[in-house]
Amino acid sequence: MKKNKAMVLSLAAVSMACLWSLWPEQSTSVIDQLAITSKVLPAHSYLMKTVNSKMSSAVAPSPEVANQHSLLGEGVRLQMVEVAQAYQENSRYPKYSKPLYENDWNLLHPRAFIPKAIPLGFNEGLKAAIVLDQYIVSRDNNLAVRVVISGEALAEVKPETVVVSLSGLSKQAEGLSLTHSSFSEGVLTYAGVIDKSVFSSIDQIDVVVNAALSFDNGEAANVTAVFKLVVTDAKMTRLERSYVEGAHLIIPAYFDVLVPGYYRVEANLFDEESQAPISHLNSAFLLTARENSGLLKIHASTLRSKGFVGPYTLSDFNITRGPANPGDKTGYGEAEQDAYKVQGFDFSLYSQEAYEDPKNQQRLEFLQKMAGID
């Protein structure tokens, strides 16, 4: 039985490895892998035939064991069928405009800061966490900071002061005292804003924010968090009027470029009226001081799959600059506005061809063969 479980785990691992290596968003080197596989399989088949021949000359398995092996094989085949079907559905859409769903948390929260509540040592019934709007913070923007204190012990112990400070500043620099902003259901929140002028004195990228808490019973505690402080290499200043070109909705975007390079612009498209998620955009292009614009594209197949003709809202921007040379660090950009309105068009104005990628089709055929799909 242990051997059967091991076989299931091994085959499941092989299935997931195939899916990972063949998914459309991965590199095109998969084709080379397929070529290698086609050369290896004949030898592998010969080896399996030899092994099977020797096994058949030995003691034949009991009907019960043979049935178990048959069920295991069918289970793996069904798993591969699911993998192939998922791949087929995903490959219907280009990676620059995939459908967006409400459970796509990472895409809906780019550069997210994940707060972590820490128990306060002097009282097990109290926890505190620092909360920031984003993990990646631009030196050009003020930084909103909240400290959230929670626990049943708040009925007995109350904070008197909450002061935040940043690493990388001189010891003489004063911290920012936060003010009490809200209290509800055992959660007490203090909030404040650190002015961007403070960042000019900080040279480091990874900055520690410390919150010093003092309570009315004479106890004190400290809570810390880390964020990334970056320079803005390019700023998206505006979007031009969208238009239809073939099977695409095209959105021209313009930038103020301080550092030239290849930039990747990710954003999310929503229906303006319902705010239902429609598509995750992922475009890359070269930006310089002169060539300061790029085109964001959404394929009509993605729009049709969601059924919204617009107008739309474009938001949740994540703009990055790829390293120009080995050893260089990723650069960062930002959008001047949090959200932009995008005009939509009736689906009849788009051409009707479906999105197709020959490489994706080759990978799909490979998966279907593995799954035994004709």
pLDDT at 115: 95
> Is 223 in the same domain as 279?
no
Using one digit for the tens of pLDDT, what is the confidence trace for 126-140? 999 999 999 999 999
Task: Express as a percent the part of the chain with pLDDT over 90.
Answer: 55
CATH number for the domain that contains residue 203: 2.60.40.1940
H helix runs in the chain, sequence order: 2-22, 30-57, 63-90, 105-108, 300-306, 358-371
> Is 288 in the same domain as 183?
no
For the residues 332-354, what does the mean pLDDT come to?
94
> How many domains are there within the chain?
3
Q: Is there a domain that residue 116 lies in?
A: no
Using one digit for the tens of pLDDT, what is the confidence trace for 191-227? 999 999 999 889 899 999 999 999 999 999 999 999 9
The predicted model scores a pTM of 0.72
Instruction: Say which residue, 224 or 23, is predicted with more confidence.
Output: 224
Task: Express as a percent the part of the chain with pLDDT over 70.
Answer: 69
> Is 247 in the same domain as 225?
no
pLDDT beyond 80 at 366: no
CATH number for the domain that contains residue 331: 2.60.40
Q: In terms of Cα–Cα distance, which of 80, 72, 79, 95 is closest to 5? A: 72
Tokens of 210: 């410390």
Using one digit for the tens of pLDDT, what is the confidence trace for 71-107? 456 666 666 666 655 655 566 788 899 999 999 999 9
Using one digit for the tens of pLDDT, what is the confidence trace for 288-320? 999 999 999 999 999 998 999 989 999 999 999
pLDDT classification of 46: cutoffs 50, 70, 90: very low
pLDDT at 103: 93
> Is 128 in the same domain as 225?
yes
DSSP state string for 307-350: T--S-EEEEEEEEEE--SSTTPPPEEEEESSSEEEE----GGGS
pLDDT at 295: 97
Residue that is written with structure tokens 């929503």 in the block: 270
Range of the domain at 23: 2-91+362-371
Q: Is there a domain that residue 296 lies in?
A: yes
Distance CA 52, CA 284 (A): 51
pLDDT at 250: 97
> Is 221 in the same domain as 244?
no
> Is 83 in the same domain as 130?
no
For the residues 166-188, what does the mean pLDDT come to?
81
Q: Are 230 and 139 in contact (CB under 8 A)?
A: yes
For the residues 153-159, what does the mean pLDDT come to?
86
Q: Which of 209, 230, 251 is the last residue before a domain boundary? A: 230
Burial letters 37-61, b for 16+ CB under 10 A, else e: eeeeeeeeeeeeeeeeeeeeeeeee
Say which amino acid occupies 294: G
pLDDT at 318: 97
> Is 328 in the same domain as 292?
yes
Q: Is there a domain that residue 273 lies in?
A: yes
Q: Which of 179, 213, 230 is the last residue before a domain boundary? A: 230
